[in-house]
Amino acid sequence: MEALQRVAKPIIYLALMSLCLYLAQALQAVTFGIAAITLAFLGVWVFVAFAFGLNFRVCVLFSTLFLVKPFEPTFYVVLALLVFSVLTQYYQERRKLLWPFPVATAILIGTSLYGLIRSGTPDRALPYFFSTAIVPTVMLVCFANSDIDAKLFDIWVRIIACINIFLAFIGIIVAFMNPGKRIGSLWVTAMTINGFYLLGLFFAIALGMREKDKRKSLLWYLGAVVIFLGMVYTYTRMALLALFFGFFLMIFKMKRFRLIGIVILLLIPLIIPASMIERVQQTFSFDLSIFIRLLAWYHAVRQILQQPFFGMGISTWETWYWGIIPYTFLYAEHPHNLFLRVLVEIGIFGFICYFWIIYRVLRDFRRRVVKPSQDHYYSVIYIGMVSLLFACLTDVFIQQYDLSIAFWTCIGFMYALSRKPIQKKEDT
């Protein structure tokens, strides 16, 4: 294992040196407005650091502010602040630096870096490179070397749920002001925020189940309804299918939720807007978007067979696909499937490492936290993460730079908590 770690370090150093060059190129395109927002974000962090101390626990809670309105420059700033806080803590305490999954993360960084080098559009490829390789590595290393407990996780979950409720409330107002249009959020695209809504909705349900006070529990459930409305007004079908998938898992796994879950599933069609119902009806007839996805999957599989080991490069699909499709209206900016996209871009080695890390963390969390605790709170959060991965069958939610922060922060918490004893809670 020590020999493998020695091999991993040079790859990581090479990756960091290459990233400096790519970041320097990307910074040239930053506008004054984005630079001002980034500086303001840093200013707030400095104030928080002076008020509450410079440590990872404070920084990980502060990073949730990024999710209110994600920008690409602040995405890089958040990662830098998390790394800086952990390094500061490391040099103060002089503890041994832990590196989870060193072989998998080293291979993932190496294959992703090769995919970045092969990309013809580095400015577009850079955020996907970070979200695919750097974010997982940074989050795992940060959480492995910090003092993480269930209380901090609970605070983080509450903040994420509250941000979701706020964004959904604003999104509903925006949707009413723009009837007939696919606008219902503060984020750039409806597709990405639907992944965030999906995660926040399960978080709100989990908090409602944990809350002993019935009034507070009802407020969390009402918050989940608001998030659901924000989701349907941006009408991404796969996100709703993932929600139903998660509900079926909850009905199957939890006796307490079965009657309530069945009632909720029966009532959902009553509150779905007409625009969403019309879009669902198109699914059972000819829908061009489905044909576009099927065509993209077909060409993705062909490309994987041609370059199976290291892929074709990150974000090269966007330009390569123009020369493949017979008509422009059949264009798809990515394969519309996270699993296919990772295979297309970084090959089989990067694919195995990426999803093996996710599988191991979720498996350990289920075995060491969900089952021993017998707490529906952890079960629903686990189901929420699985549902988000299910939603990635027709989209690339967690590979988007904005949602990757939330997803991999949750993975980091799960990794840390699965290595601590969890008290058993009796079912009530």
Per residue in 94-112, pLDDT (tens digit) is 677 788 999 999 999 999 9
Q: Rounded to 5 degrees, what angle do the CA atoms 132, 56, 62 make?
A: 80
Tokens standing for 427?
Answer: 């079912």
pLDDT at 37: 63
pLDDT at 103: 92
b/e per residue, 120-150, with b = 16+ CB within 10 A?
eebebbbbbbbbbbbbbbbbbbbbbbbebeb
Per-residue model confidence as pLDDT tens digits over 331-357: 778 788 899 999 999 999 999 999 999
Contacts of 346 (CB under 8 A, 6+ apart): 108, 111, 112, 114, 115, 132, 310, 311, 314, 354
Band (152; pLDDT cuts 50, 70, 90): very high
Per-residue model confidence as pLDDT tens digits over 188-198: 666 678 889 99
pLDDT at 228: 87
Per-residue model confidence as pLDDT tens digits over 48-92: 666 666 788 888 888 898 898 888 888 888 888 888 888 877 777
Give the C-alpha distances (Å, rounded to integers) separating 296 from 38, 112, 328, 336: 36, 22, 13, 7
Q: How large is the C-alpha radius of gyration of the chain? A: 21
Per-residue model confidence as pLDDT tens digits over 127-151: 899 999 999 999 999 999 888 889 9
pLDDT at 62: 87
pLDDT at 292: 80
Q: Work out the number of other CB atoms within 10 angstroms of the CB of residue 106.
A: 23
How much is the mean pLDDT over the chain? 80
Tell me how far apart the alpha carbons of residues 206 and 208 are, in angstroms, rounded to a whole number.
5
* CA 39 to mean position of chain CA atoms: 25
